[in-house]
Structure 1
Amino acid sequence: MKILKLIAVLVLFPLALNLLGVWELQRSTDNRLTYAGYQADLDRARPELQAIADKSGSRPVMVDVGDGEQMEVKEALSRVADLQGELDTLLPLTDVMVWLAIGVITLGLLAALMGGVGLLALNWAGRRAMQSREQLLHSFTRVTRLLPFVLVGHVVVMGAAIAALVAFEALNVWHAGQLSAGEMKFMFFAMVLVAGCLYSIWQMGTQLRVMLNMFQPTPMDVMGEAVTVDQAPVLWAYVKDLALKLGALPPDHIVLGMAAGFYVTSGDIALAPANTTLTGRTLHVPLAYLGILDEAETTAVIGHELGHFAGADTEFSMRFVPIYHGIERSLVVIGQTLVDSEWLQRATLHPAFMLGAYFMESFDHAVMHWSRVRELEADAAGAQLAGNLAAASALVRISAIDPMLQDRLATHIAQATNITPEQSAVQDLPTTLLHEIAALPLTLPEEEMATQLPHPSDTHPSNGERVASLNVSIDDAVRSGTRPLDAAVACAAMNRYFAQPEVLRSRLTQDYLSHHVQQDAAIVEALRTHAGNVTGDVALYEGARLRGQILIGFSGLLAVAGLILLLAPLLFPGAAGRGTEPFFVGAGIALFIMLCMLPFGLRLFRRAHKTALLLTPDHFVFANLKAPLPIRDIADFNLQVGNVVMLTILLEDDAPLPELTSRSFFAPDVALNKKKRLLMLPMSRFCRDDKKLKLPELAELIGSYVNAGAARHLLQQRFEQGGEVSA
């Protein structure tokens, strides 16, 4: 379905513009021929009329100007002059219209050609990428160089085609004689639209620059510290020795982190909290795992990562992977730009964005295929250094311990962001983590062997598949990987890699916790701002009393008309003619319409000022719900306009379904769809303080209360022990 939509937007729509351009060219050519004929007639008539006028002197002479009309020769010459003035405008205008039509034809064909060739090229490149990693890299690189220009070209061409088409239709309104007010308004509106198209093309300069750079990789944010050879002499020597044994390129940087796993990247890294950018090959090492894994397992894991810089995988890892994931991040930026743009810019940019998204999808299958292949090859590289059992054991051990590690990290972050007098923030987080994990039972649920290891960029094969590829039984891998952790041994193993391990651990701990404390403070401040955006309650009601009165009045007129028709045969026997059936049929129709209309008129009148929805800082109160609806139970809301304005509220999956009281036809009641977990409130309109709310105003009002209520709930959870809920 997506490819059909792309074909429609990128090819069929431009071709439709092209056909419109052909129609416009035919019309403008016919007009030019017509006006040229008029010019030839004037060129013949002017000398003849002038000669007659010269001969007549001051004596008035009548001449035949066609269709039997007689006119004084001087008046005829004046009319010829007026017509010549009109033609002096219409002929150049027609020439402009011809070129505009040719422009629409050319630009439409060009846009369709660009869209069609772009789609065909992407399909061809995606199929070719399945042949080998080299073909994937070659095809992807070539497309990333050409496609931005295709996207930019398509945006500009489509914008220019629409502007030319609208400009033609605006000029086509011009004709001989005085233009009517409606024609002038149409021309003004059309020219404003043309100016909007051209202005949007010009204003899209910043967005086009973004699109031209959309396939340039963006740096990856990493929290950690880059250690030098002096700070980690043993670790650097160890890594370089493993790289030498594998014939792999050694890393340019080693970054110690706290939360993420082992990985390598050749893309740029934005390193926090140092606020520096690392370029080249980087190996990320989670500090605690240097103690959790034994030496053989550590060798297997680091060997796996270095294996991405060995052999056939080197160029793929260094060139393709950072570009591919950088583009994914860039597309997110483009999508946000699209959302923030005006409607005309969105209409012009959207096809190009769709093509960019389709470009990524065209390579997804090949990328996933070769990612699985390269991960299994990297496992083999790690096993080559440490043995198959060590490689399989490392996979299992990381899968078993990582959930506990993340849970303990979250606990310490929560403690650091909400310090109490009884408890202070930890000073040595890696050592504390090792002791806490050692005190916990280490087990591995069976389903864990089907999970994937956390990784910031690659899609890994399942653990079960990776262990099987190492020719190690699941039982042996689980037995080795879930052995108990000795905290003292783990701490000693972790410390041996560094010159001053205590100083390094303390600095990493402070940086890590300080980062999350600052992040939490920013989040809390944002929540307080949202929570303070609303004060007091707001009552929303239908306010359609006048509309109800009109319906009631019209129903009364229909009732009177129906009664008159019923009584007419009795009161005026002569009016019935040969039969009374037409009177009875008319009366029946009038009374039937009245009976259908009157209840709705009474409904609008009676519930006009009854509160349909009361917005409070913490609840939504509906007239027919037994209890107020907590805002924390609202997942989302939507407003749709049709015969009525429909407010739809989606409830959270874990929220209890509200209970309804008995519904009344004459009250603004909400309906509940239990299966879809939706509350639906239909209203002819929404009013507040005797003022009708436009849809954007209503959406902003309800959204502000939803956001404020959610923020208050989150603040209450955040400070439920401290009582700091007020905003």
Structure 2
Amino acid sequence: MKNKGFLYIFVIPVLITLYGFFQLYRMSDGLSPSDYDYNEMALRHFLSTIGLISSLLSLFISGAAMALCRYSTTVARKSQNTLVIMFNRCRKVFPFMMLGQIVFCGLSIIFYAFSEIAWIVSAFEMDAGSYKLLTLIGMGVLGVLWILIKSLINIKNCFAMFQPTPSLVIGHNVSEQQAAGLWQWVRELAAKINAVIPDNIVVGMEECFYVTANSVQLVDGEHLTGNTLYFPVTYARFMSEDEIAAVVGHELGHFTGQDTQYSLRFTPLYSGLQNSLEQVAIKAMGNSWIDNIVIYPALYIGNYFLKNLDETVNYWSRIREHAADAVGAKASSEQAFSSALLRICALSDDISQQIHRLYQGKFNDPDLAATVFEALKSRETIDAKAQLENSTTHPLDSHPPTSLRIAALNVQVDDALLIQASRPVSEHDYHNMDKWFADPQGLCQQLTQALKKELGEQGEQIRKELEAVSQIVAPEETLTFRLGKKNVWFMGGFAMVLFIIAAWVTSLIFSGPGAAGSTQVKVAAWTAGFSLFFALASVAMYRKTLQPLFTLSNDSILSVQLNKPVMLVDIEDISMRVIQSNCYLDLIMREDAELPISLLGRFSRSIAVVTKKHKITMIIAGTLLKEGCNEKISFDELYELLAKYLQAAHARRVLIELNS
């Protein structure tokens, strides 16, 4: 567990619990019944006790959640069925644990706060300062109450995150009349490998081959339940019948044994849980300290649960894929399955390029598969060798690298295999699947139009959203910032005070009778030294204020301290830390971005290039001013401004890519 997760799950509940014990200790330490009002102390004791019980329950939930997670992870290694059982048990219990953690942690803070209010009212004479303190405590209590109410209101969301959602698919559910040959071929293939016949066959163009037992929602409104096989004509058009049989056999292999329960039921649920937990965290969390204390422990419990299952899930995922690969080889041959894996990976880029044109609204051909065929027909070979370390894509799961899957089948990656996988597209392969459909050309054109309509609408919507974001910053808008002189005056004034003290002590040394004492000399020397140090520091700060710290434009950050501009599209993220009156702003750069070079020395610069962490850190000491109007800008305003410019720059970059 990372330190941050441990802090929120355990340290915060422990500190809250210790505070409860401290409250009870304060009430009993050295007091006799005559020292206090019995009713007032009874009330405080009751409130502190309830708060302590709540914090102990919060701490117990943290420990129980960690123990349950560790136990479940260990036991789940025994079998896939055990993993499914343990996951189902945890997914039912953990929402209660998360909500219990929020409620008990919040209640403990509320009762402790009420106990402190009772103490302040009874122990001090109420004046303006006391009322202000009570008001602050009351605001904190109201904040915690609001967090609890918000959590209870969102209880349905918390439980809904553990429920599977239908997969949205762009495709056509083919019936026996539309694809009698395909249905018959799939039945014979399933009988050969002793697999379950799918309930639905969805023919599409966007994804690769896969199966799912999760409910499927087609874009035309049809809702499918049961086992569904997704059959992509864009890939099948360029593969031999043996290769298609091997891949479909692999997918049907997931319908054998425990895979129907695990791979097809558990995997979509697990993926949905991950996405839903992230969304719940985004909606539930705020930026206040109350959110951090009350909500974060519960969210880290849910996150810890998922993270600990990842390794076990991946362990069984590798086993399942290799087992399904063996079934696919049985449906055809090891050689055909290995060739199919390499060929699918090699074809994916060309197919993706044409699909990208659909997003752009630039695709006008009637048949997507025919367009890909025309684009590939002029090539002598397809580069299959370069795909050995790639993985085939799957909307619900991940696959091991192709080289490992081929090696597990005891197939040598020799010239014969690479020649087979890299063969040029042919009319024979292209029309090979025609016999399985009543109207193959009409079906492909229908699928192309449906895909064009859906992706075109998605692309247009995305384009409108990006254009709106890109326009939040005007192209000619430029802002220049410089450091304020607040710290200069502070340092200079402090240096002057120290200098006066040093001068005064020195005058005492020379004006006093007899020889000066060693202590007086040391005080004068040290005070003069510190005066000189702060004077030099103030001069250095003053020099920094004479020139702009940086200039922010719609595409870059420019500073005289760096040898070249920092392009906004090269910044992946920004983070900010405020320590006392100093702000440390980190610009997290892309791994492939070339970092600028700092032109100033370590002690003279306000912008540091941290090469090892691939980031640029701005150190803003004191105040920051907008040049021209000398308007002060807060650190939060600066962060929001940079975030706005960053979003606009990235939106423009994506728009350029979409239109290219």
Q: Taking structure 1 as reference, are residues 451 and 524 closer, same or farther at Cα in structure 2, changes over 3 Å only?
A: closer
Q: CA, structure 1 residues 310+679, in 2 after alignment: closer, same or farther (shift >3 Å)?
A: closer
* Distance of 2:602 and 2:57 partners within structure 1: 61
Structure 1 partner of 2:630 = 690
Residue 705 of structure 1: how far off its partner (Å): 2.4
- 1:378 is displaced (CA, Å) by 1.9
Partner residue of 1:541? 482
1:305 corresponds in structure 2 to: 251
Distance change (3 Å), C-alpha of 1:569 and 1:427:
same
SS of the counterpart of 1:292? Answer: coil
Runs of 4+ in 1 over 6 A off after TM superposition: 662-666
Matched, 1:187 2:134: yes
- Say whether the 8 Å CA contact 1:207–1:337 is kept in structure 2: no
Which one-letter code corresponds to 2:560 in the other structure? A
Conserved 8 A contact 2:169-2:217: yes
Task: Say whether residues 1:492 and 2:435 are aligned partners.
Answer: no
User: 2:644 is matched by which residue type in structure 1?
Assistant: S
Residue among 324, 330, 339 paired with 1:384: 330
Q: Report the CA distance between 1:455 and its aligned residue.
A: 1.6
Out of 599, 617, 625, the position equivalent to 2:554 is 617
Note the C-alpha offset of 1:266.
0.9
Q: Residues 347, 258 of structure 1: CA spacing in aligned structure 2 closer, same or farther, 3 A cutoff?
A: farther
**Corresponding residue to 2:69 among 100, 122, 127:** 122
What displacement does 1:288 show? 1.9
Kept after mapping to 2: 8 A contact 1:225/1:256: yes
Using the alignment, how far apart are the partners of 1:341 and 1:213 within structure 2?
A: 24
Deviation at 1:143, TM superposition (A): 1.7
The AA in structure 1 aligned to 2:268 is: P
Task: Write out aligned runs for 1:419-568 (5 A).
Answer: 419=362, 425-444=364-383, 446=385, 448-475=387-414, 478-479=417-418, 481-482=420-421, 484-535=423-474, 536-544=477-485, 547-567=487-507
Q: What's the CA shift for 1:596?
A: 1.4
Of 235, 244, 253, the match for 1:289:
235
Which of 583, 589, 602 does residue 645 from structure 1 map onto?
583
Q: Quote the Cα distance in structure 2 between the aligned partners of 1:674 and 1:462.
A: 32
642-651 or 689-698, which moves further after superposition?
642-651
| SS in structure 2 of the partner of residue 217 of structure 1 | coil
5+ unaligned residues in a row in structure 2: which ranges?
A: none
Q: Secondary structure at the match of 1:255?
A: strand
* Equivalences for residues 155-304 of structure 1 within 5 A: 155-175=102-122, 178-272=125-219, 274-304=220-250
Residue 679 of structure 1: how far off its partner (Å): 3.7
Matches within 5 A, 1:601-616: 601-605=538-542, 607-608=544-545, 610-616=547-553
CA distance in 1, matches of 2:603, 2:341: 64
CA contact (8 A) 1:444 1:478 kept: no
The answer on whether the counterparts of 1:100 and 1:165 sit within 8 Å (CA) in structure 2 is yes
CA RMSD between the two structures: 3.2
Query: What one-letter code is carried by the residue in structure 1 that aligns with 2:67?
Result: L
Confirm or deny: 8 A CA contact 1:18 1:108 kept in the other structure.
yes
Counterparts in 2 of 1:558 and 1:352: CA distance versus 1, 3 Å: closer
Structure 1: 5+ residue runs without aligned partners?
39-86, 721-727
* Distance in 2 separating the partners of 1:714 and 1:482: 34
Work out the CA distance in 2 between the residues paired with 1:10 and 1:639.
24
Which range is displaced more, 447-456 or 259-268?
447-456
* Cα distance in 1, alignment partners of residues 433 and 108 from structure 2: 65
Relative contact order, higher structure (CA 8 A, sep 6+): 2
Q: Contact 2:8 / 2:300 at 8 angstroms: preserved in 1?
A: no
Deviation at 1:636, TM superposition (A): 3.6
Query: Is the contact between residue 171 and residue 187 of structure 1 (CA under 8 Å) also seen in structure 2?
Result: no
Report how far residue 529 of structure 1 moved. 2.2
How has the CA–CA distance of structure 1 residues 682 and 5 changed in structure 2, closer, same or farther, with 3 Å as cutoff? closer
Supply the AA of the counterpart residue of 1:196. G
What is the SS of the residue equivalent to 1:576? coil
The whole-number CA distance in structure 1 between the counterparts of 2:113 and 2:184 is 70
How many pairs are equivalent? 654
SS of the aligned residue for 1:427 comes to coil
Structure with higher Rg: it is 1
Find the aligned partners of 2:515 and 2:624 in 1 and give their Cα distance.
Answer: 53
Q: Say if 1:106 and 1:661 are closer, same or farther in 2 by CA, change over 3 A.
A: closer
**1:597, distance to aligned residue in structure 2 (A):** 1.9
SS where residue 288 of structure 1 aligns?
helix
Partner of 2:300: 354
Cα distance in 1 between the residues matched to 2:563 and 2:12 = 52
Deviation at 1:192, TM superposition (A): 2.6
How many angstroms does 1:337 deviate by? 2.4
Question: 1:29, 1:299 → 2: CA distance?
Answer: 80
Distance in 2 separating the partners of 1:551 and 1:717: 51
Alignment of 1:344 onto 2:290: yes
With the length of structure 1 as denominator, give the TM-score of the two structures: 0.81
Rounded Cα–Cα distance in structure 1 between residues aligned with 2:79 and 2:189: 27
Report the CA distance shift for 1:140/1:476 in structure 2 as closer, same or farther (over 3 A).
Answer: farther
Q: Distance in 2 between matches of 1:664 and 1:157?
A: 49
Report the 3-state secondary structure (helix = DSSP H, G, I; strand = E; otherwise coil) of the residue aligned with 1:442.
Answer: coil
Task: Tell me which amino acid in the other structure corresponds to 1:613.
Answer: F
Please tell me whether the aligned partners of residues 268 and 280 of structure 1 are also in contact (alpha carbons under 8 angstroms).
Answer: yes
Cα deviation, residue 437, structure 1: 2.4
The separation in 2 between residues aligned to 1:612 and 1:6, in whole angstroms, is 36
Q: Report the equivalent of 2:53.
A: 106
Deviations 1:470-523 (A, max 9, x none): 344332772464252443223322333222223221222122233333333333
- Aligned partners of 2:17 and 2:556: how far apart in 1? 55
Q: Deviations over 1:149-199 (max 9, x none)?
A: 122222212211221122222212232674344333333322332232222
Aligned position for 2:643: 703
Relative to structure 1, is the Cα distance of residues 469 and 584 closer, same or farther in structure 2, using a 3 angstrom cutoff?
closer
Q: Distance in 2 between matches of 1:680 and 1:23?
A: 41
Measured at CA, do residues 302 and 551 of structure 1 come closer, stay the same or move farther in structure 2, by a change above 3 Å?
closer
- Structure 1 residue 307: Cα displacement: 1.7
Q: Give the conservation status (yes or no) of the 8 Å contact 2:342–2:385.
A: no
Q: 1-side partners of 2:560 and 2:530: how far apart?
A: 30
Asked if 2 retains the 8 angstrom alpha-carbon contact of 1:226 and 1:255, the reply is yes
Distance 1:598 1:12 in 2: 43
Question: What's the counterpart of residue 406 of structure 1?
Answer: 352
Query: Does structure 2 conserve the Cα–Cα contact (< 8 Å) formed by 1:537 and 1:617?
Result: yes
Q: TM-score under structure 2 normalisation?
A: 0.89
Alignment equivalent of 2:534, drawn from 585, 590, 597:
597
Please state whether the residue corresponding to 2:211 is helix, strand or coil: strand
Equivalents in 2 of 1:8, 1:565: separation in Å?
50
Aligned match of 2:92:
145
